[in-house]
Amino acid sequence: MLKHTVEAKRLYKSAAWRRCRESYIAKIHGLCERCGEPGKIVHHKTHIDSENINDPMITLNHNNLEYLCQTCHNREHHEKYSPVRYGMAFDNDGNLINLEG
Protein backbone atom coordinates (compact mmCIF):
# COMPACT_ATOMS: atom_id res chain seq x y z
CA MET A 1 0.00 0.00 0.00
CA LEU A 2 1.19 3.51 -0.81
CA LYS A 3 2.44 5.32 2.28
CA HIS A 4 2.17 9.08 2.45
CA THR A 5 4.84 11.31 3.94
CA VAL A 6 4.08 13.39 7.03
CA GLU A 7 3.73 16.44 4.77
CA ALA A 8 1.29 14.65 2.44
CA LYS A 9 -0.79 13.45 5.40
CA ARG A 10 -0.93 17.06 6.60
CA LEU A 11 -2.08 18.21 3.14
CA TYR A 12 -4.80 15.56 2.90
CA LYS A 13 -6.15 16.52 6.34
CA SER A 14 -6.19 20.26 5.55
CA ALA A 15 -9.36 22.29 5.07
CA ALA A 16 -7.96 23.63 1.78
CA TRP A 17 -7.59 20.08 0.38
CA ARG A 18 -11.03 19.02 1.59
CA ARG A 19 -12.62 22.06 -0.11
CA CYS A 20 -10.62 21.48 -3.30
CA ARG A 21 -11.46 17.78 -3.37
CA GLU A 22 -15.17 18.32 -2.74
CA SER A 23 -15.46 21.05 -5.38
CA TYR A 24 -13.60 18.92 -7.93
CA ILE A 25 -15.81 15.87 -7.33
CA ALA A 26 -18.93 18.04 -7.70
CA LYS A 27 -17.54 19.60 -10.89
CA ILE A 28 -17.13 16.20 -12.59
CA HIS A 29 -20.34 14.77 -11.09
CA GLY A 30 -18.67 12.08 -8.97
CA LEU A 31 -17.83 9.67 -11.78
CA CYS A 32 -14.48 8.12 -12.67
CA GLU A 33 -13.01 10.16 -15.47
CA ARG A 34 -11.62 7.08 -17.20
CA CYS A 35 -14.40 4.49 -17.08
CA GLY A 36 -17.52 6.34 -15.91
CA GLU A 37 -18.08 4.19 -12.80
CA PRO A 38 -18.59 5.90 -9.43
CA GLY A 39 -15.32 7.57 -8.44
CA LYS A 40 -13.44 7.09 -5.19
CA ILE A 41 -10.02 8.80 -5.29
CA VAL A 42 -8.95 12.27 -6.37
CA HIS A 43 -5.65 11.53 -8.12
CA HIS A 44 -2.88 14.06 -8.74
CA LYS A 45 -1.71 13.79 -12.37
CA THR A 46 1.64 15.25 -11.35
CA HIS A 47 2.48 13.11 -8.38
CA ILE A 48 3.13 14.93 -5.13
CA ASP A 49 6.64 14.71 -3.78
CA SER A 50 8.89 16.59 -1.34
CA GLU A 51 9.76 19.14 -4.05
CA ASN A 52 6.18 20.21 -4.88
CA ILE A 53 4.13 19.43 -1.75
CA ASN A 54 3.87 23.14 -0.89
CA ASP A 55 3.00 24.27 -4.42
CA PRO A 56 -0.77 24.89 -4.65
CA MET A 57 -0.52 24.82 -8.45
CA ILE A 58 0.29 21.12 -8.03
CA THR A 59 -1.63 20.17 -4.89
CA LEU A 60 -4.82 22.27 -5.16
CA ASN A 61 -5.18 22.93 -8.89
CA HIS A 62 -8.18 21.30 -10.59
CA ASN A 63 -6.11 21.03 -13.79
CA ASN A 64 -3.80 18.60 -11.97
CA LEU A 65 -6.60 16.42 -10.61
CA GLU A 66 -8.46 13.42 -11.93
CA TYR A 67 -11.27 11.54 -10.18
CA LEU A 68 -10.81 7.78 -10.42
CA CYS A 69 -12.54 4.64 -9.24
CA GLN A 70 -10.41 2.20 -7.22
CA THR A 71 -9.73 -0.01 -10.26
CA CYS A 72 -8.51 2.83 -12.48
CA HIS A 73 -6.43 4.25 -9.62
CA ASN A 74 -4.85 0.83 -9.06
CA ARG A 75 -4.06 0.62 -12.77
CA GLU A 76 -2.48 4.07 -12.69
CA HIS A 77 -0.19 3.20 -9.81
CA HIS A 78 0.38 -0.50 -10.21
CA GLU A 79 0.07 -1.53 -13.86
CA LYS A 80 3.65 -0.57 -14.72
CA TYR A 81 5.04 -1.84 -11.43
CA SER A 82 2.91 -4.75 -10.34
CA PRO A 83 3.00 -4.90 -6.53
CA VAL A 84 1.71 -8.46 -6.48
CA ARG A 85 2.87 -11.78 -7.82
CA TYR A 86 1.43 -13.41 -10.93
CA GLY A 87 -2.12 -14.67 -10.38
CA MET A 88 -2.98 -12.04 -7.79
CA ALA A 89 -4.78 -8.71 -8.26
CA PHE A 90 -6.73 -6.01 -6.47
CA ASP A 91 -10.53 -6.01 -6.57
CA ASN A 92 -12.66 -2.84 -6.91
CA ASP A 93 -12.38 -2.23 -3.16
CA GLY A 94 -8.59 -2.51 -3.17
CA ASN A 95 -8.54 -5.96 -1.58
CA LEU A 96 -5.93 -8.49 -2.72
CA ILE A 97 -7.54 -11.49 -4.44
CA ASN A 98 -6.26 -14.75 -5.92
CA LEU A 99 -7.17 -14.97 -9.61
CA GLU A 100 -6.28 -18.64 -9.83
CA GLY A 101 -8.87 -20.03 -7.51
Query: What digits encode the pLDDT tens for the residues 3-13?
Result: 567 888 899 99
Burial readout 26-51 (b: 16 or more C-beta within 10 A, e: otherwise): eeeeeebebeeeebbbbbbeeebeee
**Domain of 46, in residue numbers:** 6-98
pTM above 0.85, yes or no: no
In a domain, 1, yes or no: no
pLDDT number for residue 83: 57
pLDDT number for residue 1: 40
Collect the ranges in the chain with pLDDT lower than 70: 1-4, 79-87, 101
Number of domains within the chain? 1
Give me the sign of the Cα torsion angle 25, 26, 32, 33: negative
